[in-house]
Structure 1
Amino acid sequence: MCAPVKRPRCFRYRKQKIECRSSDSGFEEDLFTPSSSPSLDLTHNSQSADVHTPHRDISELSIFRDYGESSFNIQKSKEEKFLPINCLSRQPQVTAEARCRLVSWLIPVHRHFKLSFETCCLTINIMDRFLATTPVAADCFQLLGVTSLLIASKQVEVYSPSIKQLLSLCCDTFTRDQLCNLECIVLMRLNFRLAAPTPAFFLDHFMNQRLACGSRGDAGRCWSLARRICELSLADYAFNRYPPSVMALCAVELAELLLGEAPGADLQRGEEGAHTLAQDCVHNLRLLVTLNQEVLHTMAEL
């Protein structure tokens, strides 16, 4: 799949003044790692690492009123450029089922490392956009997943997981050189365009909008449930055709309905231009939720 590419000493996707030696992750591996233990148990960490919406004080809501709409409009204007529709059309070996399995595996992986939901969404976006440009062998697909996670975490997080930790998740099937070479190839195929709008950004925007409008509902439960709905949609290839703003909006409205709250009218007015698409998305999300009642019921009780 991949021809060897000479890799620069260090990739830094965010401006940081950190002294580091040339290591496999671009940073000093032993100094800054999210986890001190090399042994990884994903089954016991998925619930404890689930992030809840942070407390919003008056000053934060004031900042949102000043800059929220401007940030929303900027991100929304970029959606079409980063939307990986039909990304599997050029893939002779990677199927929608294989993609579903990999994404369903990456979600608890990002929780284990306590990475943000933004990192999770960006990981899937990077992976899908690469799939739209380059055929990937089935036995290299998992490597693409962890490589996308590494790139996304470097873009979003302060500290990214080390190569050693990521490779241990793959039972050391791949080597460091293979991951580093693929990292270079992915970045070049995407022309280093990593600042993609994600459902995580729009989900935060709509929840802030909900709070700014004085909603009396349980914002924490609504945000958590909407996030879980978005996670389920990330693994389903059929939802790739919906822009992330529509996906986040529909997830919030569906979460409100599941929790017995009235849908936010202000959120609906903000999406009048995509009303038909949003209706279709809500309908398909309802079907997805029906197939995952157990998972979402547990989430709603938290």
Structure 2
Amino acid sequence: MGATVLQVEVHPPRVKQMLALCCSAFSWQQLCNLEYIMLHKLHFSLGVPTISFLEHFMHKCVDVGQAEVSKTLEVQALARGVVELSLADYAFTNYTPSLLTICCLALADHKLQLLCLVDLHLGGHPEAALQDCLGKLQLLVAINGTLLTQMLPFHISKKCGLFLSSE
């Protein structure tokens, strides 16, 4: 059996940079398709460190007595859904996993109206970066509310106002 190797790319090269290295022999779409084919052929399992940060930050909140376990599980479920949505959007590749996680947790906390369960400054990120990421996440959730509703347990969707009735 092969060993699992973890590789974390903090500053991945941009597609534009890769195209320049290839002397513009490929289009943007061709390069993205080629990357997909190579990863598939190599049986890569792409993991996302953001999910690990979710659990880490939630444990911190419970350990210092900021939140009840039942409430943190709800926040974590909603934040996980928002994280999953963000993985499909290139706009979020600019953010470090810890920054993205803090913002997803803060947004989930706000949507569930749990009143500052998550400290935005827990990761030590600049205020401008936090506000930029939060703004983009709010837009992402607004645009993809229906999809997010389908990803979450019904009671959480209903509690945070994402549930859309068919009436």
**TM over 0.5, yes or no?**
yes
**Cα–Cα, structure 1 residues 12 and 281, in superposed 2: closer, same or farther, change >3 Å?**
same
What runs of 5+ residues in structure 2 fail to find an aligned partner? 20-25, 156-167
Indicate which of 204, 228, 232 corresponds to 2:55.
204
**Distance in 1 of aligned mates of 2:116 and 2:128:** 17
Distance 2:62 2:116 in 1: 13
1:11 matched to 2:26? The reply is no
The CA RMSD measured in Å over matched residues stands at 2.8
Distance 1:13 1:293 in 2: 35
Larger radius of gyration: 1
Paired residues in the alignment total 143
Structure 1 spans left out of the alignment, 5+ residues:
1-9, 15-78, 96-134, 157-196
Structure 2: distance between partners of 1:277 and 1:205? 21
Aligned partners of 1:227, 1:137: CA distance in 2, in Å?
Answer: 26
User: Separation in 2 of the partners of 1:260 and 1:300?
Assistant: 17
Tell me if 1:93 matches 2:20: no
1:57-76 to 2 correspondences below 5 Å: none
8 Å contact kept, 2:103–2:120 = no
Amino acid at match of 1:287: L
| Greater relative CO (CA pairs within 8 A, separation 6+) | 1
Q: Distance in 2 between matches of 1:255 and 1:147?
A: 37
Tell me the amino acid that sits aligned with residue 83 of structure 1.
Answer: H
In the TM superposition, what whole-angstrom CA distance separates every residue of 1:74-132 from its partner, at most 9, and x where no partner exists?
xxxxx8x6232x5221244344xxxxxxxxxxxxxxxxxxxxxxxxxxxxxxxxxxxxx
Q: Which residue of 1 aligns with 2:38?
A: 144
1:297 to 129, 135, 149: 149
Please give the alpha-carbon distance, in whole angstroms, between the structure 2 residues aligned to 1:207 and 1:137: 35
The answer to whether the 8 A contact 1:94-1:141 is kept is no
Matches within 5 A, 1:32-51: none
Mapping of residues 101-140 of structure 1, within 5 Å: 136=31, 138=33, 140=34
Q: Write the distance in 1 (CA, Å) between the matches of 2:74 and 2:109.
A: 9
Match of 1:283 in 2: 135
Following TM superposition, by how much is the alpha carbon of 1:250 offset from its aligned partner in structure 2, in angstroms?
A: 0.3
Aligned to 1:164: none
* TM-score normalised by L of structure 1: 0.41
